[in-house]
Chains A and B, each alone.
Chain A
Amino acid sequence: MSESQYILEMRDITKTFPGVRALDGVRFDLKPGEIHGLMGENGAGKSTFIKIITGVHSPDAGELLINGQPMEFKRPLDAQKVGVAAIYQHVTCYPDLNVAENIFMGHEKVTGPTRRIDWKSMHAEAQALLNQLDANFSSTERMGALSVARQQIVEIAKALSFNARIVIMDEPTAALTQHESEELYRITDGLREKGVAVIFISHRLEDIRRLADRVTVFRDGKYIGCWPVEEITQDKLIVAMVGREISQMFPKRVINIGDEVLRVENLSRVGFFRDVSFDLRKGEILALTGLVGAGRTEVCEAIYGVEPSDGGRIVLEGKEVRVGNPLDALRVGIGCLPEDRQKQGLVLPWEIGKNITLPSLRTFSRFTWLNEQQEHEAAGRLAQKLSVKARSIFTKVFALSGGNQQKVVVAKILSRSLKVIILDEPTKGVDVGAKAAIYEIIGDLAEQGYGIILVSSEMPEVLGMSDRIVVMKEGRVTARLVTSETTQEEILNAAMVVETEQAAAQAELQVVGDAPSETEGAR
């Protein structure tokens, strides 16, 4: 058996989940001492792919070779043993323990029959690992007091303490400032020099340009191509990521768009978004898009009053409204389908009916006394209207599929009389069939004259459903586009690429952006 030039090779990997083919015959290879960029839109299958390398999922078909040896990971520990380590965007650490304790969590240095922890050698070794990474902080520091970037460095040190030879970094720069990213670049470069192979996943073209030797692109769970970074242009890379036809899932209806219903002027919230302005008309679907973390959800939360803005105006049908909490928003006629339907949208142990009527209980009660007969009838009507699939309105929502749960949340919103509906990632975690049903519902709502703000990261959804598009990047609006006159490339450019004219604005924002790092540390 010849020694392979690749430390990791994956061939024809296929993985299917109920209703979704997450990966379809994907391949990937990695040389020792290489930084290999992995790119693709949300939902392209990158996360599933990582979970296969780290042994969280096992593939339905395909081969995984480490140093030319076929391997089968049954559980994460198997992958760890051969030297695979993953570092995630949201660091999973123990904030109240110190750096050395975090690095050696689960494999502490112990001596003697009592398995006493040998603090001295543990700190010495931790410090050695940190020095190896040129990190200029001490192993005795409390993890929670470090910046996100430094926490990630600790995670890298932890990976090295397991003698990891393959390190996967999943969007490590997403939560970092420019300056912090530089520190991470330096350390990742250092790993390459030590012969560690790195899989670097990022949405930021800057990251890939700066770091990677080669870049592989996935799209819709398929392998699109692999290029040396010097040989591919930015434009070509974007085309590779998005270049698909919009399917027939989005039957865009012709709807008469009416008068302005909502106008947002210079809405700002320190540390999250700044000077966001747009307007929305009756029957119109306005897509709010951008990368994860661009501030889209925060803008919606401000309009819906979950986390009120600290500057700017919200004007509803010509009158300025003050929205201090969701109750205010619902009263004036703004409804919201939150991003996390299980935590924010539903009372999971409850029945469908009780969930649907929760926002409108007042309608069914007189002096707080409930008329359950009326309540059940209304809930039944709404569930029927949205064709929630269940035996009765007394079925508990935790037993429903994602798509059906989402329909229940939409039914909740419709139980109030509203003018504007915000839909924050309405098809997240929903299978293809239910997606089509939800698009159908969104179309119906627009037809009924609601103004709709659709927050979405999925390009086909944005292009297929909306009339106009507002693109955000790092808390600012970077483009306002008319859907029929734009392309995916144009949207992605606005969402991802730092243009020279924006550089100054961005530097300005960085100052503001530093404010939340304190709260992040405290978390």
Chain B
Amino acid sequence: MEDTKAPEIAISAQRQWSWKEFFFQWEWLLVVVLLMVIGVNTWLSPFFLSLDTFIRTPATFLDKSFIVFPMMMVIILGKIDVSVGSTVALSAVVMATSYNAGVPMPVAMLICLLVGTTCGAINGVLIAKFKELSFVIVTISTMMIYRGIAFIILENRASGGFPGWYAFLGWGEVAGIPVMMLAFIAVAVIYGLLLHRTSFGRVVFGMGNNATACRYSGVDTDRVTMTVFTLAGLMAAITALFLTSRMGSTRPNVAMGYELEVIAMVVLGGVSTNGGMGRIAGPILAIFIVGFLSFGMGLANLQAPVVLVVIGLLLIVSVLALRVRFTVKKKKPVV
């Protein structure tokens, strides 16, 4: 179609602003859903709608959010990592055990980060270097292995007794804003820039769409895969730090099932499990939708299982809505 136009017209390097495209974005639907959730919550409790709710309440559900962004990156790459929950548990357990064995707390925290990063790097190396192992097999296996090691170390006991200052991570505030909230904002900004403003992020999107073409274009695809998975491990360890600080102790069964909740948030945020698609704003909105939804259901005295049912339904409906949007878009002629 383009071909029939006069060929001499120069190809433009200027992006044209289109209001239609601007409003035709998945994230607007999420904004509407979030407003609806807030509306219902306000109706349920007259105390809900206050500045405090939006600054302090999130600390109750933000611990998972640190894995949402790396998971988003993994899914954009066209893969999935179900071992993150186990990585959280293993790094937390190793940290607590080494602290109680006499290691100073700051060193124990470094060990925690190191364990998480190593777990992620193992996933990355296995997936990148052994093509016959699919990412599903690798991360399901390591999910069991990491969790298993955590249980072997701590035998289903709790371990805690951390120094008082450690609680600051999970409960502390700076200028009236929870530390966790600040950390969340920092991580969101870093991942947003990494995905949308760097050549690394560009290549991650490219590999999600067509890894073969990226390899032919001279992209070191193995290194990108390893980096993305290693980052997921590191972020799981950061989650372990905040989670342990909030709970004051840890057990080998912490963060059980986090991987699925996190994947659900990423998908709700409009990131396609086929890879190569997604924007940072979607998962951010999804974190708050799911968070406030659970919080509101708590206000309404609904049991946790009901929350699960609602989130499951929301996920199916939203993914269907996403499909409908893309079928509309595909109406464009494809040569």
Question: Looking at the complex, which of B77-85, B108-116, B327-335 is the stretch in contact with chain A?
Answer: B327-335
Q: Is the CB of A365 within 8 A of B213?
A: no
Size class of B's contact patch?
35 or more
Knowing A354-B202, A399-B334, A399-B335, say if A347 contacts B214 (CB, 8 Å). yes
Q: Measured between alpha carbons, how far is A326 from B217 in the docked complex, in Å?
A: 7
Q: Is the CB of A390 within 8 A of B2?
A: yes
Q: Is A361 an interface residue (CB 8 A)?
A: yes
Residues of A within 8 A of B333 (CB): 399
Q: Mark A353-368, 1 if CB is under 8 A from B, else 0.
A: 1100011011011001
Q: Mark B203-216, 1 if CB is under 8 A from A, else 0.
A: 10010011011111
Residues of B within 8 A of A383 (CB): 11
Knowing A344-B212, A368-B200, A389-B5, say if A384 contacts B218 (CB, 8 Å). no
How near does chain B come to A341, taking the closest CB pair, in angstroms? 9
**Set B1, B15, B206, B216: member contacting A306, Cβ < 8 A:** B216
Q: Is the CB of A369 within 8 A of B197?
A: yes
Task: Mark out the residues of chain A between 214 and 231 whose CB falls within 8 Å of any chain B CB in the assembled complex.
Answer: none
Q: Is the CB of B216 within 8 A of A347?
A: no
Q: Is the CB of B213 within 8 A of A345?
A: yes
Q: Measured between alpha carbons, how far is A27 from B7 in the docked complex, in Å?
A: 39
Q: Is A394 an interface residue (CB 8 A)?
A: yes
Q: Measured between alpha carbons, how far is A400 from B332 in the docked complex, in Å?
A: 12
Residues of A within 8 A of B210 (CB): 343, 346-348
Knowing A343-B213, A392-B14, say if A359 contacts B199 (CB, 8 Å). no
How near does chain A come to B277, taking the closest CB pair, in angstroms? 8
Question: Looking at the complex, which of A95-103, A160-168, A374-382 is the stretch in contact with chain B?
Answer: A374-382
Q: Measured between alpha carbons, how far is A462 from B219 in the docked complex, in Å?
A: 31
Q: Is the CB of A336 within 8 A of B216?
A: yes
Q: Measured between alpha carbons, how far is A350 from B7 in the docked complex, in Å?
A: 22
Q: Is the CB of B13 within 8 A of A347?
A: no
Q: Is B52 an interface residue (CB 8 A)?
A: no
How near does chain B come to A376, taking the closest CB pair, in angstroms? 5
Q: Is A393 an interface residue (CB 8 A)?
A: yes
Task: Mark out the residues of chain B between 1 and 55 whose CB falls within 8 Å of any chain A CB in the assembled complex.
Answer: 1-3, 5, 7, 10-16
Q: Is A327 an interface residue (CB 8 A)?
A: yes
Residues of A within 8 A of B5 (CB): 389
Q: Measured between alpha carbons, how far is A210 from B203 in the docked complex, in Å?
A: 53
Q: Is the CB of A362 within 8 A of B13?
A: no
Q: Is B173 an interface residue (CB 8 A)?
A: no
> Among A345, A347, A365, A416, which residue has the most Cβ atoms of chain B within 10 A?
A347
Task: Mark out the residues of chain A between 477 and 518 whose CB falls within 8 Å of any chain B CB in the assembled complex.
Answer: none
Q: Measured between alpha carbons, how far is A389 from B8 in the docked complex, in Å?
A: 9
Q: Is the CB of A364 within 8 A of B199?
A: yes
Q: Is the CB of B199 within 8 A of A326?
A: no
Q: Mark A269-295, 1 if CB is under 8 A from B, else 0.
A: 000000000000000000000000000
Residues of B within 8 A of A380 (CB): 11-13
Which residue of chain B is the closest to A388 with respect to CB atoms?
Answer: B11
Knowing A327-B219, A343-B212, A350-B206, say if A392 contacts B199 (CB, 8 Å). no
Q: Is B198 an interface residue (CB 8 A)?
A: yes
Q: Total number of A-B contacts with CB less than 8 angstroms?
A: 121
Q: Is the CB of A391 within 8 A of B13?
A: no
Q: Is A330 an interface residue (CB 8 A)?
A: yes
Q: Is the CB of A326 within 8 A of B218?
A: yes
Q: Measured between alpha carbons, how far is A330 from B11 in the docked complex, in Å?
A: 27
**Set B7, B15, B212: member contacting A392, Cβ < 8 A:** B15
How near does chain A come to B26, taking the closest CB pair, in angstroms? 16
**Set A304, A362, A391: member contacting B12, Cβ < 8 A:** A391
Q: Measured between alpha carbons, how far is A390 from B13 in the docked complex, in Å?
A: 11
Q: Mark B311-335, 1 if CB is under 8 A from A, else 0.
A: 0000000000000000000001111
Task: Mark out the residues of chain A between 128 and 177 whose CB falls within 8 Å of any chain B CB in the assembled complex.
Answer: none
Which residue of chain B is the closest to A329 with respect to CB atoms?
Answer: B218
Q: Is A370 an interface residue (CB 8 A)?
A: yes
Q: Is the CB of A395 within 8 A of B218?
A: no
Q: Is B276 an interface residue (CB 8 A)?
A: yes
How near does chain B come to A425, taking the closest CB pair, in angstroms? 14
How near does chain A come to B4, taking the closest CB pair, in angstroms? 9
How near does chain A come to B219, taking the closest CB pair, in angstroms? 7
Which residue of chain B is the closest to A340 with respect to CB atoms?
Answer: B212
Q: Measured between alpha carbons, how far is A384 from B218 in the docked complex, in Å?
A: 23
Residues of A within 8 A of B198 (CB): 365, 368-370
Q: Measured between alpha carbons, how far is A400 from B197 in the docked complex, in Å?
A: 26
Knowing A361-B199, A394-B15, A399-B334, say if A330 contacts B218 (CB, 8 Å). yes
Selected A-B contacts with CB under 8 Å, 27 pairs: A306-B215, A326-B215, A326-B216, A326-B218, A327-B218, A327-B220, A343-B213, A344-B213, A345-B216, A347-B214, A349-B209, A349-B276, A358-B203, A358-B219, A364-B199, A369-B197, A370-B198, A370-B202, A376-B15, A380-B11, A380-B12, A384-B10, A392-B13, A401-B2, A402-B335, A412-B217, A416-B218
A-B complex: 4 closest residue pairs judged by Cβ atoms: A380-B13, A392-B12, A361-B199, A330-B218
Chain B residues near A (Cβ < 8 Å): 1-3, 5, 7, 10-16, 197-200, 202-203, 206, 209-210, 212-220, 276, 332-335
Chain A residues near B (Cβ < 8 Å): 304, 306, 325-327, 329-331, 336, 338, 343-350, 352-354, 358-359, 361-362, 364-365, 368-370, 376-377, 379-380, 383-384, 387-395, 398-402, 404, 412, 416
